[in-house]
């Protein structure tokens, strides 16, 4: 005539355990809404931060152990990261791809990072805007880094990381070289809108 009194509790515990085990196996940690990153061997938070007009949804991986770096720690990381060496291709790998790649590499390395999207008043960009990264350093505050390659060819020492000293609405977007000396980058236009995704 059905289950005995104690059997129902055991059935619930076994069912709950199986569901939890299944979720962990497929990569979902239901308690913290974390996902298991097989490459890093740990749980990460995943956000679907923004939509890239050329490639659709961009996925940012935020690691729970990532922290805000010092300015010198950030420079050491940027010098070792090779995202800026990837050749630019407007159909395959453009500014949003650089920003997402640098973001995910930084987070994987334990450095908290954000992605910034910028829209300009200038119509030459066909309202596509631009994407870059932001880091909140412990000793110098917010640092904006643009690692989009300025070339479609790979060179031995690209060093395309650029710093944006002043990122504000109504101000000219002017990248300055971070590691290169005596190099000038094109101004992209007057900033109309800024969005930051952590």
Locus of tokens 């917010």: 142
44-85 confidence digits (pLDDT tens): 555 444 545 555 556 788 888 899 999 999 999 999 999 988
Whole-number Cα distances in Å, 82 to 52, 122, 157, 164: 22, 30, 10, 19
Cα(180)–Cα(161) distance, rounded to whole angstroms?
Answer: 8
Length reported for the chain: 198
Band of pLDDT at residue 43, cut at 50, 70 and 90: low
Cross-strand pairs, 44: 35, 63
Give percent of the chain with pLDDT exceeding 90. 36
Cross-strand pairs, 62: 45
Is it the case that residue 132 has pLDDT exceeding 50? Answer: yes
pLDDT of amino acid 157? 53
Locus of tokens 């994407």: 131
131 alpha carbon, distance to own chain's centre: 10
- Tell me the two tokens of residue 183: 């190099």
Locus of tokens 């060819």: 153
- 75 neighbors 142 (Cβ within 8 angstroms): no
Is it the case that residue 1 has pLDDT exceeding 70? Answer: no
Is it the case that residue 87 has pLDDT exceeding 70? Answer: yes
- Tell me the two tokens of residue 34: 């974390």
28-39 confidence digits (pLDDT tens): 444 444 555 555
Cα(69)–Cα(162) distance, rounded to whole angstroms?
Answer: 18
Cα(40)–Cα(96) distance, rounded to whole angstroms?
Answer: 23
pLDDT of amino acid 58? 62
Give me the chain's average pLDDT, please.
76
Cα(152)–Cα(159) distance, rounded to whole angstroms?
Answer: 14
């Amino acid at each position: 005539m059905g289950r005995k009194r104690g059997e129902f509790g055991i059935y619930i515990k076994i069912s709950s355990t199986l569901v939890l085990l299944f979720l962990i196996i497929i990569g979902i940690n239901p308690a913290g809404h974390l996902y298991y990153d097989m490459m890093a061997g740990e749980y990460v938070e995943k956000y679907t931060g923004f939509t890239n007009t050329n490639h659709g949804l961009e996925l940012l991986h935020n690691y729970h152990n990532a922290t805000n770096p010092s300015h010198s720690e950030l420079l050491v990381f940027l010098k070792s990261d090779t995202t800026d060496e990837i050749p630019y291709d407007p159909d395959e790998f453009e500014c949003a791809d650089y920003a997402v790649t640098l973001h995910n590499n930084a987070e994987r390395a334990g450095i908290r990072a954000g992605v910034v999207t910028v829209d300009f008043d200038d119509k030459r960009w066909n309202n596509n805007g631009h994407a870059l990264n932001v880091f909140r350093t412990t000793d110098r505050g917010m640092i904006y880094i643009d690692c989009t390659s300025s070339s479609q060819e790979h060179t031995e020492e690209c060093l395309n990381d650029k710093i944006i000293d002043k990122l504000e609405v109504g101000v000219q977007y002017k990248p300055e070289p971070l590691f290169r000396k005596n190099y000038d980058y094109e101004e992209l236009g007057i900033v109309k809108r800024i969005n930051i995704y952590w």
